[in-house]
Amino acid sequence: MDHFELNNGVLHAENVPLPLIAAEVGTPVYVYSRATLTRHARVFRDALGVLRNAKIAFAVKSNPNLSVLKVLAAEGYGADVVSGGEMERALAAGMAPDGIVFSGVGKTAAEMRRGIEAGIGQFNLESEEEGLELAEIAASMGKVASAALRVNPDVDAGTHGKISTGKAENKFGVPFDRAAAIYARLAGTPGLNMRGLTLHIGSQLSKLEPLEAAFTKVGGLMEEIRAAGYTVTHMDLGGGIGVPYKTGEVFPQPEEYAAMVARVTGNWGVTLMFEPGRVITGNTGVLVTEVIRVKDGASNPWVVVDAAMNDLARPALYDAWHDFVAVEPKGETFTANIVGPICESSDTFAMARTIDKVERGDLAVFRTAGAYGATMANTYNSRPLVPEVMVDGDNWAVVADRIDPATILAAERVPEWLA
C-alpha cells in the first residue's frame, strides 16, 4: 500500500498534486511519501514483534537520503552501512552508533578505524583476513570491536543473478565449511569481540524457502560453534525480502517472514538482527518524468521521457520492471516502448508495453522507485544528478538538490600542460 493515488484525475503524493512539484522543481524528480515510509517501517517492526529480541538495521544502500534516514531513526531503526560514506550519513541522521552495523566486502583500514572511533555496534566480517586487520586496528587504539562473521550458506536465493549473494561462487562471506574454524581463530584474537554470525543471500527475493533453508543451515553452524566452546549472542539474518513491481504480483508479507523466523530461530537464545532495505523503501517513492516526445517506430511508437538509465538504473542493470502510469490519465491506452534520451540501447525502461496514452509534455511516473533508485543515479551523458522531494501530508520539500552539469564541470581541472 502506498500514498500515490489519483485525486480528481490527478496523481498525488499524499495531498500534493505531482504536477505542482514538477512545475516547481522540474523533471525528472524522485518524490517520496513520508506516510508510506513510516507505514512500511511500522508494519515491518510490528511484524517482528513476535520475536523476543529483534533489532532492525535499515539497509542504507537502498535509500541513503538524509531525510529518509531521519524518518527511520525516529521509528527506532538502526542502520546497515556498507561504506564510510553511508556510516557518516547514518550518524548525521542521528542514528545511535550502537545501532549501526558495518557490512561490505572491502572495508578499508581507514573505514574500520573511523567506525571504531564512532563506536558503531557491529562489524560484519567478510573474511578471516578482514577480521585480523580489524582486530589489529582496534587493539592499536586500545579498543575492542564487536563483530559477526558473514557466512556464505551456498543457497540459491532464486533471484536475478546480479543481486544474488549467497551462492558459493558469489564474493560474499566465508565458505560455509570453513566458517567454524575461522570463527574460532577470530574469537581468540585480542581486539575482537566475536559475538555471532551473519548472512544475506540476495535481494528482491520472492519466496521464503531459500531464506528458511539458509537460516536453518546457519543455525546448525551456530550450534557447532557453541559446542566448540565459543559464544554466540547475536545472529544477523540480513535483508532481501522483495516487493511487487508489477500490479498483481504476490510477495511474502512481513508477518509470514516473521512467523518463519520465529519457527526456525525459536530456541537460538540470541539477539536477532535484520537488515531490510527494499521492503521498507521500495514503495515509498516514484520517479516523476515528462514525455519529451513520442517518436514513430518500426513496430511500436517510442515514448521518449526525460528520465533515463542514469536516473533509474534498475531496468538497464537487472531488466527490472517499473509500472509506468500517467499523472493525468486520459482513460486511453496504447502499446509503446519507453526509453530515455541516453545514447545507449540499454536506456530502455520497457518494450511493447501497454500503458496510459501519453503525448509530448505529459507527466508520468515510474512506480516503486524508492529503493535502489536515486542512490544509483549518476551523471552519464553529462546529465544533471536527479533531485529528491519528500511529501508529508500537505507539506513538501526538496530533500536533495538537482546538481547541474555546470557544477560538475566546475569540479574538473585542466592541467597547465594541456592549457
Ligand X SMILES: *Cc1c(COP(=O)(O)O)cnc(C)c1O
Catalytic residue among 250, 298, 343, 414: 343
Q: Which three cell numbers stand for residue 389?
A: 522531494
Residue 103 interacting with ligand X (CB under 6 A):
yes
Q: Give the max Cα distance, the chain.
A: 70
61 binds ligand X (CB under 6 A): yes
DSSP 391: E
- Near ligand X by CB under 6 A, which window of 175-183, 188-196, 275-283, 408-416? 275-283
C-alpha cell at 154: 551456498
C-alpha cell read off for 414: 585542466
Q: How far apart are CA 208 and CA 220, in angstroms?
A: 18
What CA–CA distance (Å, rounded) separates 204 from 317?
14
State in angstroms the smallest separation of the CB of 218 from ligand X.
14
Among 78, 115, 276, 315, binds ligand X (CB under 6 A): 276
Q: Is 28 in the site for ligand X (CB under 6 A)?
A: no
List the interface residues with ligand X, window 279-308 (CB under 6 A): 279
- The residue among 4 and 172 lying less far from ligand X, judged by its C-beta, is 172
Residue 237 near residue 276, CB atoms below 8 Å: no
Residues 6 or more apart whose Cβ sits within 8 Å of residue 145: 112, 115, 116, 123, 134, 135, 137, 138, 191, 192, 193
Q: Using alpha carbons, select from 105, 212, 216 the residue that is nearest to residue 157.
A: 212
**According to the binding rule CB under 6 A, does residue 122 interact with ligand X?**
no
Interaction with ligand X in 201-220: which residues (CB under 6 A)? Answer: 203
The span of 6-14, 220-228, 273-281, 386-394 binding ligand X (CB under 6 A) equals 273-281
Does 121 interact with ligand X (rule: CB under 6 A)?
no
Which is nearer to ligand X, 372 or 396 (by Cβ)?
372
Residue among 2, 14, 80, 128 that touches ligand X (CB under 6 A) = 80
Asked about 343 being catalytic, the answer comes back as yes
* Strand intervals (E) in 224-347: 234-236, 271-274, 285-295, 302-305, 324-326, 333-339
Q: How far is the CB of 346 from ligand X (least distance, A)?
A: 22
> In whole angstroms, how close is the CB of 45 to ligand X at the nearest point?
15
Which residues lie closer than 8 Å to 181 by C-beta, 6 or more apart? none
Among 238, 329, 340, 370, the residue binding ligand X under the rule CB under 6 A is 238
Task: Say whether residue 65 binds ligand X (CB under 6 A).
Answer: no
Catalytic residue ranges: 343
Summarize as ranges the residues that interact with ligand X (CB under 6 A): 59, 61-62, 80, 82, 103, 200, 203, 238-240, 275-279
